[in-house]
């Protein structure tokens, strides 16, 4: 295996370090990168061993996460002054081989590239209420445009009835997660207490906010609702605007595109100090996903659901070391 400690200047290691800051469900980090011979480029592969078998049987969320990592690789290359040459699904017979990014011609990074690159390590997922401050309308408009340019659609669910309906669907899905025993094993594999540190998964005692504080039910990582069925205080006014990111197709190419669009949106928001809180539970239940598609996303396939706002505090989650996720062609992928 490639050892970054002995080859600290390896260009692919630099790209992988940027890639792993991407979000992934339960912080599963379901990716493998391969440094191509002679550092000609880097490959992005899905790591299906890290897929959530119940929540993500098709691997949709794995590919979305890898798409976000791919966006980071492109950004890191731009930051270094090279135009990334991206090939999606370069070996059709191998669906886990999602993309290859080669070093293109020299190109001075634009101020926008530098801005987004600077936001990479400032972006974190939020759980719970936001501050009361509203988002700047120009940011909301910009996010729409970025999603559109990346081949996806971002819809803010602005009307009361729509928000209530979406909150109900999140609630139904989240209740299933909390009560159905089959989800417990999945939950257990990817959550841990801070006394047993890991570099993936969610440290459950990191966040003691009750998951039902806002209008949209959060994932109950710490099992708080078993001890406290209702939160001491509700903060509906701190929920923030909620958005659905969708695509016109529902195949691996669309999922990869979703991940790239998502990361573009998240970094733009983070550059303004705005973070996302995700509520993707109903997209993991086929019948609820169909209802969202029919009633809220205008027939497009809903891929992500998130609230946006200014966070009261941030908690960076750990990442696997680059030496663990970056391979050389001879290493094999298992």
Ligand X SMILES: Cc1cc2nc3c(=O)[nH]c(=O)nc-3n(C[C@H](O)[C@H](O)[C@H](O)COP(=O)(O)O)c2cc1C
By CB under 6 A, what part of segment 295-334 binds ligand X? 317
Q: How far is the CB of 197 from ligand X (least distance, A)?
A: 15
By CB under 6 A, what part of segment 62-91 binds ligand X? 64-65
**Using an 8 Å Cβ cutoff, are 18 and 72 in contact?**
yes
Among residues 12, 13, 25, 33, the one that binds ligand X under rule CB under 6 A: 25
Report if residue 279 touches ligand X, rule: CB under 6 A. Answer: yes
CA angle, residues 37, 42, 46, in degrees to nearest 5? 120
Report if residue 139 touches ligand X, rule: CB under 6 A. Answer: no
Rounded Cα gap, residues 189 and 187, in angstroms: 6
DSSP 2-67: --TTT-TT-HHHHHHHHHTTS--GGG---EEEEE-GGG-EEEEEE-GGGS-TTT-TT-HHHHHHHH
Nearer to ligand X, 35 or 47 (CB): 47
Q: How far is the CB of 219 from ligand X (least distance, A)?
A: 5
Residues in the chain: 334
Nearer to ligand X, 24 or 246 (CB): 24
Q: Binding segment for ligand X among 113-121, 132-140, 279-287, 291-299 (CB under 6 A)?
A: 279-287
By CB under 6 A, what part of segment 244-263 binds ligand X? none
Q: Binding segment for ligand X among 82-90, 122-130, 146-154, 326-334 (CB under 6 A)?
A: 122-130
Q: How far is the CB of 32 from ligand X (least distance, A)?
A: 16
Report if residue 206 touches ligand X, rule: CB under 6 A. Answer: no
Report if residue 24 touches ligand X, rule: CB under 6 A. Answer: yes
Nearer to ligand X, 127 or 238 (CB): 127
Q: Binding segment for ligand X among 40-48, 100-108, 128-136, 276-284 (CB under 6 A)?
A: 276-284
Report if residue 125 touches ligand X, rule: CB under 6 A. Answer: yes
Nearer to ligand X, 280 or 297 (CB): 280
**How far, CA to CA in Å, does 90 sit from each of 43, 60, 87, 96, 287?**
10, 19, 6, 10, 33
Among residues 31, 190, 278, 301, the one that binds ligand X under rule CB under 6 A: 278
Strands, sheet with 301-309, edge to edge from the N-terminal-most edge strand: 153-156, 242-247, 301-309, 275-278
**Using an 8 Å Cβ cutoff, are 211 and 220 in contact?**
yes
By CB under 6 A, what part of segment 26-65 binds ligand X? 26-27, 61, 64-65
Report if residue 127 touches ligand X, rule: CB under 6 A. Answer: yes
Query: Beta-strand (E) ranges in the chain?
Result: 31-35, 41-46, 82-88, 97-106, 153-156, 191-192, 202-203, 242-247, 275-278, 301-309, 326-327
Nearer to ligand X, 103 or 306 (CB): 306
Nearer to ligand X, 214 or 280 (CB): 280
Nearer to ligand X, 103 or 278 (CB): 278
DSSP 161-182: HHHHHHHHHHHHHHHHHHH-HH
**Using an 8 Å Cβ cutoff, are 263 and 67 in contact?**
yes
Rounded Cα gap, residues 13 and 323, in angstroms: 8
Report if residue 192 touches ligand X, rule: CB under 6 A. Answer: no
Among residues 280, 322, 325, 327, the one that binds ligand X under rule CB under 6 A: 280
Report if residue 17 touches ligand X, rule: CB under 6 A. Answer: no
> Which of 42, 40, 45, 38 shows the shortest CA–CA distance to 256?
45
Render the burial of 269-289: b for 16+ CB within 10 Å, e for the rest: bbbbebbbbbbbbbbbbeebb
Among residues 42, 281, 288, 307, the one that binds ligand X under rule CB under 6 A: 281
Distance of CA 227 to the CA centre of its chain: 29
Residues in contact with ligand X by CB under 6 A are: 23-27, 61, 64-65, 124-125, 127, 202, 218-219, 278-281, 317
């Amino acid at each position: 295996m490639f050892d970054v400690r002995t080859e600290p200047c390896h260009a692919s290691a630099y790209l992988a370090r940027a890639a792993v800051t991407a979000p992934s469900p339960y912080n599963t980090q379901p990716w493998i990168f391969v440094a191509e011979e002679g550092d000609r480029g880097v490959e992005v592969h899905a790591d299906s061993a890290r897929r959530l078998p119940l929540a993500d049987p098709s691997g949709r969320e794995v590919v979305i996460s890898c798409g976000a990592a791919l966006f980071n690789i492109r950004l890191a290359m731009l930051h270094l002054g090279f135009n990334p040459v991206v090939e999606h699904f370069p070996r059709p017979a191998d669906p886990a081989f999602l993309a290859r990014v080669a070093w293109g011609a020299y190109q001075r990074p634009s101020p926008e590239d530098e801005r987004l690159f600077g936001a990479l390590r400032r972006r974190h997922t939020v759980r719970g209420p936001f501050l009361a401050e509203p988002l700047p309308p120009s940011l909301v408009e910009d996010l729409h445009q970025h999603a559109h340019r990346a081949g996806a659609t971002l819809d803010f669910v602005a009307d009361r009835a729509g928000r209530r309906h979406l909150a109900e669907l999140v609630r139904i899905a989240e209740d299933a997660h909390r009560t159905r025993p089959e989800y417990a094993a999945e939950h257990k594999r990817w959550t841990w207490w801070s006394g047993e540190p890991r570099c993936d998964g969610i440290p459950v005692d990191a966040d003691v906010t009750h998951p039902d504080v806002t209008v949209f039910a959060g994932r109950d990582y710490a099992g708080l609702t078993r001890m406290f069925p209702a939160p001491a205080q509700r903060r509906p006014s701190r929920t923030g605007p909620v958005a659905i990111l969708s695509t016109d197709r529902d195949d691996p190419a669309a999922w990869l595109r979703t991940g790239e669009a998502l990361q573009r949106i998240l970094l733009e928001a983070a550059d303004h100090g705005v973070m996302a809180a995700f509520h993707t539970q109903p997209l993991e239940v086929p019948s609820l996903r169909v209802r969202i598609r029919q009633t809220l996303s205008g027939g497009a396939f809903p891929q992500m659901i998130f609230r946006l706002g200014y966070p009261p505090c941030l908690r960076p989650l750990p990442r696997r070391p680059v030496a663990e996720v970056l391979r050389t062609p001879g290493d094999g992928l298992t």
